[in-house]
Amino acid sequence: MLKIQNLTKIYDGGVLALDKVSFEVPQGQFTAIIGLSGSGKSTLLRCINRLVEPTSGDIFWNGTNITKANDDELRLIRRKIGMVFQHFNLVHRSSVLTNVLAGRLGYVNPIMSLFNRFPKSDIENAFKQLERVGIADKAHSRADELSGGQQQRVGIARAMIQEPDIILADEPVASLDPVLAHSIMQYLEKINKEEGVTILCSLHFLDLVHRYADRVVALNEGKLMFDGKPTDIDDKKFKDIYGREAERVG
Amino acid sequence: MDKKKPNLLRSLGIGLVVLAVLFIYAYGFQVTKVNLAETKSEHRREQLTRILRALAHPELFSYETEDTMVSLPVMVPCPEGGFQPETPDTSEPYLVMTPACGKGLKIAIVEGFNFEPFSSGPLNFRPADSEVNLQLGSIKVDRDGHFEIEVRLSNRPNDKVQELQAITRRNVGAPSLTRTAFETWDKIVETVFIALLATTLGTLLALPLSFLAARNLMKDVKSSLISMSLSILFIPVGFYIGIKVASWSLPVSVMLTGNPFVAIAGLLILPIIIWSGARFALSQSEDEKPLLNTRLIRWLVVAIIALVLIVVLHLLSNQAMLGGNNAAKLLGSFDFLGLFVRDLGDILGIVIGTVTAIVSAGILNSLAGRLGLILNRKSGTLIHILQVTLATTAGALLFFLLAAMINWFYQFNNTMGFFTAAASIGGILGFILGLINNPERSMPTGMIVYFVSRTILNATRSVEPLVMVIIFVVWVGIGPFAGSMALALHTIAALGKLYSEQVENIMAGPLEAVRATGANRLQTIIYAVIPQIIPPYISFTMYRWDINVRMSTIIGFAGGGGIGFLLIQNINVLNYRAASAQMLAIAIVVASMDYISSVVRERFV
C-alpha cells in the first residue's frame, strides 16, 4: 500500500512541480500516470524513491514514512522499489550482466561489491531475469551494443532482480516504436499479474493506458486532475487533463 | 542635428581608441627594447649565421680523421742576404709563401699545392723557440688541390728559422656516435621516465581527488550541523588513532622480520587468517538487518583483521626492502630490479601509515555521521543546546588547527595568544551558527568540500613545475627525482581539475538508476561513474604524459634532471652543436609522444 499525502515539490528556481497531490495505490495495482510533458509525472515518481527530495507532504509505504527516512533507511526502502526509465539509463560501457547485477547493490555487502564480487545466487538470478525478458544470450555484450527495445528489457531485468514490491516506470516506452512499446508493456503486465508487483507507470498514449492500466491518475501543472478507471476519461475530462486545444487521437 | 551628434562622438571615441592602441604598442616597443639596428649589423648577422649552421649540425656522428701536415720554413725578419727555402718536391703537397721572408710582414700570401681536394684545416705558425702553435687562419682546399690565404707575420725577437705548418683533415672510415650522442640518449631516456613516473603518481592521486572536486557528486552530500560538527571533531582523532595504530604495529612486524622463516610463515599464514576472518565478518548479502550482537561480533572481527592486515603489510614492506637489497647484490648489472623491489617496499611502508590514518579518519567520520543521525531523531531544546555546544567546540578546533598551520609557517612569538585568539573566534562563529541554525536543516557539506578541494587544486595548478622543482631540489637534491616529484605535484592539480570536469559531464541517467536501486555513494561511483569516465580519463592521462614529457625536457633548467640539464649546460658553454643534438632528441621524443597519444586517444574515445 502506497499512500501519498499533500505531496508538494517546488524546485530551486521556484517552479511548482507538484501541488498537494494525494492518492493511494493498493498493493498489486497497475496504475498509469498521465499528463502533458512538464505536468509533474516524472517528479512524482522520483519523489516516491526520493531521487527528488519533496518540499513537503508525506509518502507512506507499508507503514513507513519515506519522506522522513534517513540515508540508511532510505537505502533499505529503495532496494524494494524498482525503477524503469524512459532512456533506459543503463551504464553503456558495462556489460548487460553488470547492469542487471547493479540491481542487487542494495542487498550485497558493500565492500565485496566494490570489487565486482556478487554472490553466486545473484548471478544465477540475473541470468534467470535476462532469460525471462528473452536476452540471456546478450549477457556479456556491452549495454550500448543493444537496440533500444533490448536495453529497456535489461532495465526491467535490473528492476526485477531487486525483488521489488513496486516498480516505478517513467515513460518506459516513450523512446520505442509502437510494436516494441507493446512488448515492453506486456512484460510489465506479466510482472504485475504473475508476481503481484504494484506498477506505477507514466504514459503518453491513451490507448496504452486503456489496454494495460487498472487505474489512471492524471496530473496537470502539478495538480491531480483525475483519478479513476481509464474508461471514465470522457471528452470533458480529457480537455481538463490535456487542455482546451487538445484533440483526441486514436 | 540630433542624429549627427552621436556619430561625431562615436568617431571621436574610435579615434581615441586608435590613439590609445598606438600608445600601448609604442610603450610595448620601448619596454621590450625593440632594436632593429642590431638585427641589421654585420657582426650580429655573422654570429647568427654561425649559430644557425651549428644548430643544423647536431654533434651526433664523428669520423676517424687523417691529418696531412706540410711545413714551410720562414724567417721574420729577413736575414742578411735574403732567405730562400729549399725548392719543394712538387710531387708531394707543398707550401709557398710570397714574399718568402720579410720584416714585419703585414701581408704575405701563403699558397698550397697538391693538397687533398676539398679538405680543410688550420694554418699554424710554430715559433722556433717554443712549443706553441699560433693559428693564422683556416684553409680550404679547392678542387685542384690548391689554396691561397693571406697571413700577417710579426717580427720574431731572434733570427732563427721559424716554421709554417698547414694541417688538413680528411674523414676516413665509417661514422661513429659521439660522446654527446651517448649522453643525449642517456638523458632523453631519463626524461621520458621522469614524465612516466610523474604521470603515474599524479594520476593515482588525482583520481580520488577528482571525485571530491566534482559538483554533481558533491552537491547532494548534505548533513545536519550536528553531524558536521561531530565530523570536524572526530576526523583529527581518527587521523591520530590511525597513525598510532600504524606505528604500534611496526615493532610487531619488525620482530617477525628478524627470522626469515618466521617472516615467510607470517606472510603465508596471516593472509589466510585475514581471508577467513573477512569471509566470516563480511556477509555476502543480507535481506534483514542482523541482530546487534552479531553486528558487534562482526565489527570486532573486522577490527582484528584490519590490525592483522596492517602487520602483514608492514611485514611485506620490510621483507621487500630486505629481499630487494639482497637480490640487488646478486643480480649484478640488473641490480636496479632488486633496488626497485626495495623502494617499492619502502613506498609501501610510507603508504601504510598514511592510508591507515585516512581510513581511520573515514571510519570515525562515518561514526560521527551515524551518531548525528541518531541525535537528529530527537528534537526540542535539548538538541538545540547540544548543537550549540558541538558547533562551538568544532569551530574552536577547526580554527585552532588552521592557526597551528599558519603558525608553522610564520613562527609567531606569542604562540599561546595567537592560538587562544583563533580558537575563540572559531568558537564564537560556531556558537552563533549553532544558535541560529534549525537543527533539522541540513548543511551543504559536499559543496564545502567541493570548494575547498577546487581552491587547493587551482592554487597548486597555478605554480609552474619549474618553480616547484626548486623546492624539491632543496628537499631531495638536484636530479631527476626532484624533477619527477615537482611534475607529479603539478600533474595531481592539473589532472584533478580535468578529471573532475569529466565527472561533471557524465550522463546523469545511469547515476540516478544506480542510486534508485539502493546503492550507497561509493557503490554508485564504482558502478555508474567510473565506467563512464574511463575513456576521458585515459585520454587525459595520455595528454598529460605528453605534456609531462615536454615539461621534463626543460625541468632540468632548474636542476630537475633530464635532458634539460645537459641542454642548458651546453648552451652556457656555447657548445651549440651539442645543444643541437639535444634539441633534436627533444623534438623527436615530443613528436612521437604526440603521435602515440593521439593514436591511443582515438582508440578509446
CATH architecture label of B63-175: Sandwich (2.60)
State the pLDDT confidence band at B1, using cuts at 50, 70 and 90: very low
Q: Closest Cα partner for B581 from B595, B593, B569?
A: B569
In angstroms, the separation between the Cα of residue A248 and the nearest Cα of chain B is 32
Q: Are B564 and B554 in contact (CB under 8 A)?
A: yes
pLDDT for the residue B136:
82
CB-nearest partner of B516 from A78, A87, A109: A78
**A:B CB pairs within 8 Å:** 105
Minimal-distance CA residue of chain A relative to B531? A93
* Closest C-alpha to B494, from B291, B194, B240, B205: B205
**Residue with cell string 620482530:** B255
* Dihedral pair phi/psi, residue A32, rounded to 5°: -100, 145
pLDDT digits (tens, 9 = 90+) for A157-188: 999 999 999 999 999 998 888 888 999 999 99
Higher pLDDT, A246 or B384: B384
Instruction: State whether B534 and A112 contact (CB < 8 Å).
Output: no
Residue B15: predicted pLDDT: 94
Distance CA B472, CA B479 (A): 10
* % of residues, chain B, pLDDT over 90: 27
What's the start-to-end Cα distance of chain A, in Å? 33
ω into B99 cis (within 30 of 0)? yes
**pLDDT at residue B2 tops 80:** no
Asked whether the CA dihedral B220, B225, B230, B232 is positive or negative, the reply is positive
Rounded Cα distance between B521 and B211, Å, is 11
Helix (H) or strand (E) holding B149: strand B147-151
Per-residue pLDDT at B488: 93
Question: B63-175: same fold as B47-60+178-222+460-605?
Answer: no
Choose among A52, A10, A28: nearest CA to A166.
A28
Q: Which CATH superfamily is domain B47-60+178-222+460-605 in?
A: MetI-like (1.10.3720.10)
Nearest to A237 by CA among A34, A48, A61, A89: A34
Nearest CA in chain B to A112: B284
Chain A residues touching B509 at Cβ < 8 A: 85, 87-89
The residue of chain A nearest to residue B514, with distances taken between CA atoms, is: A102
Residue B289 is predicted with a pLDDT of 64
Q: Which residues from B are below 8 Å from A71, CB to CB?
A: 373
What is residue B227's DSSP assignment? Answer: H
Q: What 3-state class would DSSP assign to B104? A: coil
pLDDT (tens digit per residue) in B250-264: 787 777 777 777 778
Q: Which of chain A's residues have a Cβ under 8 Å away from the Cβ of B286?
A: 107, 109
DSSP of B110-139? EEEESPPTT-EEEEEEE-TTS---EEEEEE
Dihedral, CA of residue A213, residue A219, residue A222 and residue A223, to nearest 10: -120
> At B494, is the pLDDT very low, low, confident or very high (cuts 50, 70, 90)?
very high
pLDDT (0 to 100) of residue B4: 59
Q: Shortest CA distance to A84 belongs to which of A172, A12, A24, A149? A: A172
3-class DSSP assignment, residue B63: strand
pLDDT in tens, B210-231: 999 999 888 888 888 888 899 9
The residues that bridge with B168 in the sheet, in sequence order, are B68
Provide the mean pLDDT of chain B. Answer: 86
More confident residue, A94 or B172: A94
Q: What is the pLDDT of residue A241?
A: 82
| CB-CB neighbors (< 8 A) of A108 in chain B | 284-285
Supply B316's cell numbers: 611485506
In this prediction the ipTM stands at: 0.92
Looking at chain B, which residue has its C-alpha nearest residue A50?
B516
Min Cα separation B600/chain A (Å): 18
Cell, residue B356? 591507515
Question: What residues contact B502, with CB distance under 8 A and at least 6 apart?
Answer: B210, B533, B536, B537, B540
Q: Which residues of B touch A162 (CB under 8 A)?
A: 517-518
Q: Which residues in chain A are contacts of B510 at CB distance < 8 A? A: 89-92
Task: List the single residue in A with minimal CA-CA distance to B282.
Answer: A109
Contact (CB<8Å) A105/B519: yes
pLDDT reported for residue B5: 65
Q: What confidence tens digit (pLDDT) does each residue in A40-64 have?
A: 899 999 999 999 989 999 999 888 8
- The tens digit of pLDDT for each residue in B562-603 reads 898 889 999 999 889 899 999 999 899 988 988 888 888 777
Chain B residue numbers with beta carbons less than 8 Å from the beta carbon of A112 are 282, 284
Q: How far is B228 from chain A (nearest CA, A)?
A: 15
Contacts with B376 from chain A: Cβ below 8 Å: 70
Q: How many other C-beta atoms lie within 10 A of the C-beta of residue A37?
A: 9
Assess contact for B538 and A100: CB atoms under 8 A.
Answer: no
- In the chain, the amino acid numbered A62 is N
Per residue in B267-308, pLDDT (tens digit) is 888 888 888 887 777 665 565 666 778 878 888 888 888 888
A198, pLDDT greater than 70: yes
Average pLDDT over residues B481-501: 92
Q: pLDDT by residue (tens digit) across A103-132? A: 999 888 777 788 888 888 899 999 999 998
Residue B3 pLDDT > 60, yes or no? no
Chain A's closest residue to B289, CA to CA, is A76
- Residues on B contacting A at a C-beta cutoff of 8 Å: 282-287, 289, 370, 373, 376, 509-510, 512-520, 522-523, 526-528, 531-532, 534-535
Question: What is the mean pLDDT of the segment spanning A78-102?
Answer: 92
Is a pLDDT exceeding 80 seen at residue B100?
Answer: no
Interface of A with B (CB under 8 A): 46, 49, 51, 70-72, 74-79, 81-83, 85, 87-94, 98, 102-114, 116, 119, 122, 155, 158, 162
B77 cis-preceded (ω within 30 degrees of 0): yes
Contact assessment for residue A112 and residue B547, using Cβ atoms and an 8 Å cutoff: no
Q: Which residues of B touch A116 (CB under 8 A)?
A: 526
Nearest CA of chain A to the CA of B342: how many Å?
Answer: 28
Closest to A102 (Cβ–Cβ): which among B509, B522, B527? B527
* Interval B25-84: pLDDT, tens: 999 999 998 888 888 888 888 889 988 988 898 888 888 878 888 888 887 777 777 777
Q: How confident is the model at residue B216, as a pLDDT?
A: 87
| Domain boundaries of chain B, sorted by first residue | 4-34, 47-60+178-222+460-605, 63-175
Residue B429 reports pLDDT greater than 90: yes
